[in-house]
């Protein structure tokens, strides 16, 4: 049994001199939900296309379920389900007909898998409605059902929540978590909605300009994210002086709205609040906070990039 579902080894892809992927060594553990983060054009889709066999690398290799030779890779890819960009649906067919058509086209045995997949994505009641009349959320779920045909062990999703409304995003997240937890499906998911990844990923890969900058677990991310206490008082200037003089630290920031961010994991937060209180300040808010994935990502790629 291989510990990793996917490993890439010095994977590079060039398009007419332009480097889309630059010596990427990425590894995805069995059973994980791997959040693949990067700005537009970072190289996410290129990597996904190579893994799913839609494109070839210029250099480097991939290992999928331990297979790396061409023939073995073809077999290994049968264990993958993927949804890349918007799912290709037959607009005049119902959800059930779309699934059946895909099942036949792909030569997947067992007609009974169609109702099973519909149920898995919550479309069992979609009835006679044609795909062209589906909401975007329903279309994405149908796309996911198609990807699930053949009971894949590894699901690869390129921006599955793109364009979904907040409710659709939540539904997709719950669905993916369930597939991971109940069926043990390993998931690679690229997304621009970083806060969304944060609620489900167990591992992260950060890609920037074709280079994999970092891979880390959710726990490591949490530890790396800067911790601070958010303080709101009636007189921020006075509070800043108290923090500096009484607590002897300059590791804080006064924000434009007057809120103060006092950095570091505080051993004794009570000491801070009582110093502020003793100085006659009225404390309106005193809250331990952690930096979120978005600010960590922005810092990691070295700028104020909009993801």
Which residues bind to ligand ATP, rule: CB under 6 A? 15, 18, 20, 38, 40-46
Our CB check for ligand ATP shows the closer of 23 and 238 to be 23
Residue 206: CB minimum distance to ligand ATP, A: 11
Q: How far is the CB of 306 from ligand ATP (least distance, A)?
A: 12
Please identify, using beta-carbon distances, which residue of 44 and 203 lies nearer to ligand ATP. Answer: 44
Pairing between strand 203-208 and 283-290?
Answer: unpaired
Closer CB to ligand ATP, 213 or 283, in the complex = 213
Pair of tokens at residue 169:
């995003």
Nearer to ligand ATP, 43 or 150 (CB): 43
CB of 161 to ligand ATP, least distance (A): 13
Mapped onto helix, strand or coil, the DSSP state of residue 3 is coil
Rounded CA separation 201/37 (Å): 11
Residue closer to ligand ATP by CB (options 43, 152) is 43
User: Both ends of the chain: CA-CA distance in Å?
Assistant: 37
Q: How far is the CB of 159 from ligand ATP (least distance, A)?
A: 7
Q: Cβ distance 30 to 186 under 8 Å?
A: yes
Closest contact distance (angstroms) between CB of 168 and ligand ATP is 19
Residues with Cβ within 8 Å of 292's Cβ and at least 6 positions away in sequence, in order, are 194, 195, 198, 225
Q: Which of 28, 78, 16, 36 is nearest to 53 (CA)?
A: 78
């Amino acid at each position: 049994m291989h510990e990793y579902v996917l490993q890439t080894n010095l994977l590079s892809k060039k398009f007419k001199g332009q480097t889309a992927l630059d010596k990427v060594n990425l590894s995805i553990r069995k059973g994980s939900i791997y959040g693949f983060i990067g700005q537009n054009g970072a190289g996410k889709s290129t990597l996904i296309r190579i893994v799913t066999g839609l494109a070839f690398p210029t250099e480097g290799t991939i290992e999928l379920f331990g297979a790396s030779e061409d023939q073995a890779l073809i077999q290994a890819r049968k264990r993958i389900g993927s949804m890349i960009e918007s799912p290709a649906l037959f607009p005049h067919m119902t959800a059930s007909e779309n699934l059946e058509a895909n099942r036949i086209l792909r030569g997947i045995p067992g007609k009974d898998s169609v109702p099973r997949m519909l149920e898995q994505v919550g479309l069992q009641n979609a009835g006679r409605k044609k795909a062209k009349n589906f909401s975007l959320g329903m279309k994405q779920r149908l796309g996911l059902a198609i990807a699930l045909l053949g009971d894949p062990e590894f699901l690869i999703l390129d921006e599955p929540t793109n364009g979904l409304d907040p409710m659709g995003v939540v539904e997709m997240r719950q669905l993916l978590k369930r597939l991971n937890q109940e069926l043990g499906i390993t998931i690679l998911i690229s997304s621009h909605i970083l806060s969304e990844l944060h609620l489900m990923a167990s591992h992260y890969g950060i890609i920037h300009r074709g280079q994999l900058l970092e891979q880390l677990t959710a726990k490591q991310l949490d530890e790396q994210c800067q911790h601070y206490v958010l303080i709101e008082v009636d007189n921020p200037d006075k509070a800043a002086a108290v923090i500096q003089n009484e607590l002897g630290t300059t590791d804080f920031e006064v924000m434009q709205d007057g809120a103060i961010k006092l950095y570091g994991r505080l051993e004794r937060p009570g000491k801070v609040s009582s110093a502020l209180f003793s100085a006659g300040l009225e404390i309106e808010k005193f809250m331990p906070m952690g930096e979120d994935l978005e600010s960590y990502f922005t810092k990691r790629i070295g700028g104020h990039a909009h993801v």
